[in-house]
């Protein structure tokens, strides 16, 4: 009976967490995609625009360190997260991408990738100049969530990227993934475009521009 009550409590908490973070439609979209009806509205985002306050770790901030991750850390990550079985993290390194990670003492707390080569996404190619890069695959481990680690790590990635001559960074935010949009707002990110990607039965692919945003106007209104 006790186990049954715990399972019931977990389900209620899981549903509440989805609703609280606005992820119901995000989850629904993912379920429809599994049966071949893949409709994805998404933002093309420029991150870290202008001046903003550097994010800080919430709570105890001692013991954290940022570094580039190599094969050893990526193998550990791959074996620890069941939901990324489809991702070949080591291939990212082979392509010349850089993985930046955050450790708490010896434990991996969060990580992400920086890609400078052109990016092909759902039938659309994004071309980058030498001073531009794409940031992706941000992940915070469950036991470290709620500590503001995602914007903290992202901010320090901007600084590391600048050491490599990269002063403009981009990313993609799924329209229904409100938690991702929320954490990027802390970094003064701006939406450049809203696209709609349609993939039917993993065979037919379309990409439409829904809206282009005026980033100069957005900055002048601050």
Residue where the block lists tokens 């580039």: 68
pLDDT for 29 equals 67
pLDDT for 10 equals 45
Helix axes 149-163, 178-185, angle to 10 degrees: 60
Token pair, residue 55, equals: 């994010």
Token pair, residue 138, equals: 């941000």
With helix as H, strand as E and coil as C, how does the chain read?
Answer: CHHHHHHHHHHHHHHHHHHHCCCHHHHHHHHHHHCCEEEEEEEEEEECCCCCCCCCCCCCCCCEEEEEECHHHHHHHHHHCHHHCCCCHHHHHHCCCEEEEEEECCEEEEEEEEECCCEEECCEEECCCCCEEEEEEEEECHHHCCCCHHHHHHHHHHHHHHHCCCCEEEEEEECCCHHHHHHHHCCCCEEEEEEEEEEECCCEEEEEEEEECCHHHHHHCC
Residue where the block lists tokens 């991996």: 108
pLDDT for 203 equals 87
What is the b/e burial string over 45-73, where b = at least 16 CB atoms within 10 angstroms of the residue's CB?
bbbbbeeeeebebeeeeeebeeeebeeeb
pTM (predicted TM-score): 0.81
pLDDT tens, N- to C-terminus, the chain (222 residues): 444 444 454 444 444 454 455 566 666 667 766 777 888 899 999 999 988 899 999 999 999 999 999 999 999 998 888 767 667 899 999 999 999 999 999 999 999 999 999 999 988 999 999 999 999 999 999 899 999 999 999 999 999 999 999 999 999 999 988 889 998 999 999 999 999 999 988 888 899 999 999 876 545 444
pLDDT for 85 equals 65
- Cβ atoms 46, 190 nearer than 8 A: yes
How far apart CA 104 and CA 144 sit, in angstroms, is: 9
pLDDT for 163 equals 94
pLDDT for 25 equals 64
pLDDT for 216 equals 64
């Amino acid at each position: 009976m006790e186990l049954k009550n715990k399972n019931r409590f977990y389900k209620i908490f899981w549903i509440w967490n989805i609703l609280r973070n606005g992820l119901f439609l995000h989850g629904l979209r993912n379920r429809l995609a599994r049966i071949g009806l893949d409709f994805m509205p998404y933002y093309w985002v420029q991150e870290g625009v202008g001046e903003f306050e550097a994010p800080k770790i919430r709570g105890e901030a001692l013991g954290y360190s940022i570094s580039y991750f190599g094969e050893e850390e990526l193998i550990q990550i791959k074996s620890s997260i069941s939901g990324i079985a489809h991702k070949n993290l080591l291939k990212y390194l082979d392509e010349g991408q850089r993985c930046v990670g955050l450790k708490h003492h010896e434990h991996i707390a969060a990580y992400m990738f920086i890609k400078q080569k052109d990016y092909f996404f759902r039938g659309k190619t994004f071309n980058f100049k030498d001073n531009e890069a794409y940031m992706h695959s941000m992940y915070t481990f469950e036991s470290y969530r709620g500590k503001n680690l995602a914007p903290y790590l992202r901010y320090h990635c901007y600084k590391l990227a600048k050491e490599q001559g990269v002063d403009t960074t981009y990313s993609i935010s799924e329209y229904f993934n409100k938690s991702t949009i929320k954490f990027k707002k802390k970094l003064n990110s701006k939406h450049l475009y809203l696209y709609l990607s349609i993939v039917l039965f993993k065979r037919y692919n379309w990409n439409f521009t829904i809206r282009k945003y005026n980033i100069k106007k957005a900055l002048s209104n601050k």
